[in-house]
Every structure is written in C-alpha cells, then in structure tokens.
Structure 1
Amino acid sequence: MRATARDAARAVGAAAVASLVLGCAAQSQDTASRPPEAVIRPVGSQQTLDVAENLLERDCMRRSGFDFWVTPPAAPGTRREFPYVVDDVAWAKEHGYGSDQRAALRRAADADPNKRYLLSLDPRRRTSLVAALNGPRPTGLAVDLPNGARISHSDEGCTAEAERRLYGDLPAWFRATRTVRFLKGERVAAVQQDARYRSARDRWAACMRADGLPYSDPRESRAAADPERGADRARETRTAVAEATCAVSTGFSRVAADLDTSYGTSARRRHPRVYADLARLTRAALPRARAVVARG
C-alpha cells in the first residue's frame, strides 16, 4: 500500500497531542486557500486499489468536516527496493543507492497538501483530524502475529470505513495484511541467517575487498556510502556499482533470490489461510475499486 495522507496524520499525530498538552497555540488556517485536486489515472491493480481507498477516505473526511486531497500515486519504479544486495549495475550507475529517489519522495511528501493542511490546524483541530482518519482509539481490530505479538487498530475512522467498503470483511483484511507484512520481514531475516546466504555474502565481500572496499555485508557498504551520513554522490555511486558488480559476478544475488523464493514458499505453506484471504479479498475489491475511481 502506498504512502498516503494517513501516514502524515500518524507521523504528526503524536506531535499534535504533545502540542495540545503543552498548550501550544498554532494559528488555525482551516479556511486557507485549497489547492485543486489532480485528475488521477491509476496504472495497474494496486494503484487502482490505493486511489480508490483514498477517494473513499476523502469523501468520509469531508463528511467529518475536514479537507482531504487525493494525491497522484508514485510512478512505477520511482523507488526500487533491494532487500539483500543491489544487483542492478545500470540502476546503480544512475541512482547509486537511491538517494536521489528518496530525496524526490521527501520533496513530494513535504508538498503533500494533506500534510500542509494538517500542520496548519490548531492543536485541538489537528487531534480531531487524526481521530477522524485513524479512529479514536486503537481497538476493534486485532491480530496475533506468528511470533506471539499482538497488534491492534481501530475499526472506526475513515480509513477503516474505506477499507471495509472496498474489502468487505475488515477483520479478515486486517489479519491478512498485517500477517503477510510480518512474514515478509521474517522471510528476509531468515534468508540473511541462512548458511548459504552467508557463504555467498563472504564471496561478495572478498570481491569488494579486491576493489578496495572493505565491507563484510551490504548493510555496511550502504551505511558507509550514505549521503545522509556525509558521503558524496561520487562515493555513493562508486560503492553501489561495485556492490552490484560483485553481487552478480560472485552469484550472491542469485543465491539470495533463490533463498527468498524458497522461504517465501515455506511461509505460504505454513500460513495458507492468510495468503488465501489476502488474494480473495483483493480480487473481490478490484471491481469496487474501479467503480470508485470511475466515479472520482
């Protein structure tokens, strides 16, 4: 699911509460000039679902007395994820580790009219907006994750209403999405702990050392070449290209991909219901989402 206005509300929500407690008095601009809403044409099923959910949130928030804008989803390929190792040499030559793309996403987030609107409100109104979007308290939906942790969320608020209208069975949708998200993180951790992964990573590290880059793990090379930690663009690009070149030449990226597939298959076998529920609910939601997007 793409980052949306609800993410801004969650990020600013704690600050809003703190401001309220401290008695800060930001001047409300609830009637500030409102930018027009863009015409959005989603590409693909996931964008259609995301945009439809935002449209339903918009309608709900407006009924609750708040402004809400549906912003265009990020273009496909705006940001690539490499959970194990960068292995695309051409991409690394152009983007390094992706600091340019992250910066562009931050600029887009800063320009988000929903974020600006939220921050323009006085503390009490801001807290009311967060509650209207996310629900007044994190109760009503709950799931026990495979590691025993329990997470919960409100079954009220505009996000819950939008997801209920799209997916129908909101508790099942909550369980499936949160469990699958957890299992994805668990899969990555399992791959990184696998002896076959570590052996391939050691070959990669030897290749990097031969290129004058003494890193034993891709997480180290990324941290060392991170512009946010002081590295310049040339260092970022050179390190990322070396990482990708060594990932391919040593077979590290192939081993990581094969293990990722294997552990992913194992997770599906161990938790067939959540994956089946996710597929079923998503499939059923698509016709509803297309109708919502067509209506606008």
Structure 2
Amino acid sequence: MPRRTLLLLTAALLAATLTGCADRTSASPEAVPGTDTGTGATPGTAQHVSDDPEQTLHLAEQLLIKSCMEKRGYEYWVEKRPAADGAARFPYVVDDPAWAARHGYGTDLYRARQQEALRDPNQRYFRSMPADRAPALVSALNGPEPKGLSARLPNGIQVTHSDQGCAAEAERTLYKDLPAWFRATRVTDSLGGMRVGLVLADKRYKAAVAPWARCMKAKGQPYPSPAEARAAATRPDRPWPHTKEVRLASAEADCARAGDLAAVAKSLDTEYRTELRRRYPGPTADLDRLKREALPRARAIVTRGR
C-alpha cells in the first residue's frame, strides 16, 4: 500500500464500520487518548527522527492529523505505516525462499491484520460514538464531500477528494501545494499498477514463465503461472492450511531462483518504471520535489512531537 493511502483509508474504514466492517493496522487494546501506539512516543514531546524519509513524512502527517482532530474535539491515535503484503511485495513471483517458508503468500499476515483491526483504537473510538456523531467524525477527518481536489489518471478516470478535513489540512501543511500533491500521488499510484500490467504482458516475462512452470510441475505443482498459483492458494472462500500454502509458495520461490524468472521480472520492472517516468514526467517530478521540500518540515514536526 502507498504511504498516502493510510490516512485516507482510515476514514473509509471508519465509515465502513457503520456496516460492521473493519480492517486496520495494529494497536494495543489498552491504548488511551493521547498515546501514540505506532511509535512509542507521546505527541508533544521530542521524538526520534527516522533515517527513513518515508517514515518521517508519514509520522509528521499523522502527528498533524492528530493535532487537527484534537482541536476539533476528537481523539485520534497515530497510525503505523502499513507493511507490504505478499501481493505488493512480490507482484510477479515469490522469489524469497525464507519469506515463503514463513508466510507462504502472506495470508497469515492478512489474517493477523484483521485481528489487529479489531483492537485498533481509532476504530474502537468510532464504534463507541453515538450514531448521530459518527458522520461528523468522518467528515472532520476526511472532509464533508469529495470536492476541491481532482486528478485525471492515465487511464482516463477522474478521481476527486475533499480539500477540507484534517487529512487534507495535514497534507497542505506538510506539502504546501495540496492540489499538486493530490495529482502527483494519485497519478504515480496508478503508474504502479500500470507497470505491473506491462511486465506481466511482456513477451520476455511470459517466455521466462515457461521454464518456471516446468520446474513447478516437476515439484508436483502444475500451475502454468505464478498468478494462478497464488490465486489457488489465497481464495478467501476456500482457505488452504498454512503448511500447504507454504509448500506451494516455497516451490514457487525455488523455481523462480532456479531459472531466470526472478531476474527477468526485476529487470522488466526497472525498465518499465523508467519508461513510465519518461512518459509522465510531470507527476513523478512533482512528487519527488514535494517530498524533498517537505522533509525538513517533517523533521521539525517529528522533533517537537506535533
């Protein structure tokens, strides 16, 4: 999941709770208002600035959201950055035998996140609110309606979002040019999906899949492609035992390493990443610039804790 998505997803998940749904990141069930469950620090106090710029930007955004929500009379707990799941970590083929031996395709991690979501303090806080106050909380976080920000994606779809609410206020404070930030993040997010599609459709990738499939068949796993192997093991309506999932994913990783599929996928991913940046130079350059310019502000926010 991209960095920006988490803070917007929070509001969507809060709204989803109205129908009994929840799916958030981990937090302690004993969390109390004002406690940061994701970083071990209390907002308003000096905090360690991570060496990872993305972590620093994320934490700064979260602290700004928390401060904004508290000014509006609500509680808010800092959310951790989501870890990449199996599909995001291995979009073409599982090629890490050690990871496969522990997690298979990552359904164990997905189930753990679902359990953690039940303990998420932001979700619990939302569920504790009277029904007539819940919509106001969502509006305070994510804005009253999806108007004010707009971006047209490379596939022609136009996406919109509110330029109000604490999420937008935090991004405006951190990145300054909120419309440019919105366009850059939405377009570059969509380019990631385009890149994966281009790699999977490339004849060089398909050629590398053929020996991989032969290797898999020799191991008793007759799947013609990594996508079909993953799909078989991760059907939500027909969950596999963890040991069976691990066995298939481990075979996939071994065969990816034994042949050249892993190397071909990595090379093509790099090639298409470069090509898409060349085809869409504006959004990618804007994103890089906005992050670079925001980083000193983010460090200052994290250092003072708000």
Whether the TM-score (by the shorter chain) exceeds 0.5 is yes
CA offset at residue 230 of structure 1?
2.4
Cα–Cα, structure 1 residues 274 and 3, in superposed 2: closer, same or farther, change >3 Å? closer
- Which amino acid counterpart does residue 278 of structure 2 have in structure 1? R
Q: Identity over the aligned pairs, expressed in percent?
A: 48
Q: Is the 8 A contact 1:52 1:293 kept in 2?
A: yes
Q: Is the 8 A contact 1:5 1:114 kept in 2?
A: no
CA offset at residue 78 of structure 1?
8.2
Match of 1:100 among 85, 108, 116: 108
Alignment correspondent of 2:248: 239
Cα–Cα, structure 1 residues 275 and 52, in superposed 2: closer, same or farther, change >3 Å? same
Deviations 1:219-265 (A, max 9, x none): 22122223843211111111011000111112111111111111111
CA offset at residue 134 of structure 1?
0.6
CA offset at residue 72 of structure 1?
4.2
Q: Is the 8 A contact 1:5 1:115 kept in 2?
A: no
Pair 1:266 & 2:275 matched: yes
Q: How does 1:132-281 map to 2 (within 5 A)?
A: 132-226=140-234, 228=236, 229-281=238-290
Alignment correspondent of 2:10: 8
Between Structure 1 and Structure 2, the one with more helix by share is 1
Question: Which consecutive segments of 4 or more residues in structure 1 shift more than 6 A?
Answer: 76-80
- Which amino acid counterpart does residue 120 of structure 2 have in structure 1? D
Alignment correspondent of 2:300: 291
- Could you tell me how far apart the structure 2 residues matched to 1:14 and 1:224 are? 28
Q: Is the 8 A contact 2:104 2:250 kept in 1?
A: yes
User: Scaled by the length of structure 2, what TM-score is found?
Assistant: 0.85
User: Scaled by the length of structure 1, what TM-score is found?
Assistant: 0.88
Q: Specify every segment of 5 or more residues in structure 1 that has no aligned partner in the other structure, as ranges.
A: 20-32
Alignment correspondent of 1:68: 76
- Could you tell me how far apart the structure 1 residues matched to 2:122 and 2:292 are? 29
Does the residue aligned with 1:151 lie in a helix, a strand or coil?
strand
CA offset at residue 71 of structure 1?
3.8
- Could you tell me how far apart the structure 2 residues matched to 1:99 and 1:13 are? 25
- Could you tell me how far apart the structure 1 residues matched to 2:257 and 2:6 are? 35
- Could you tell me how far apart the structure 1 residues matched to 2:269 and 2:90 are? 12
- Could you tell me how far apart the structure 2 residues matched to 1:142 and 1:2 are? 16
Task: Please say which of residues 219-228 and 83-92 is displaced more in the overlay.
Answer: 219-228
- Could you tell me how far apart the structure 2 residues matched to 1:159 and 1:263 are? 32
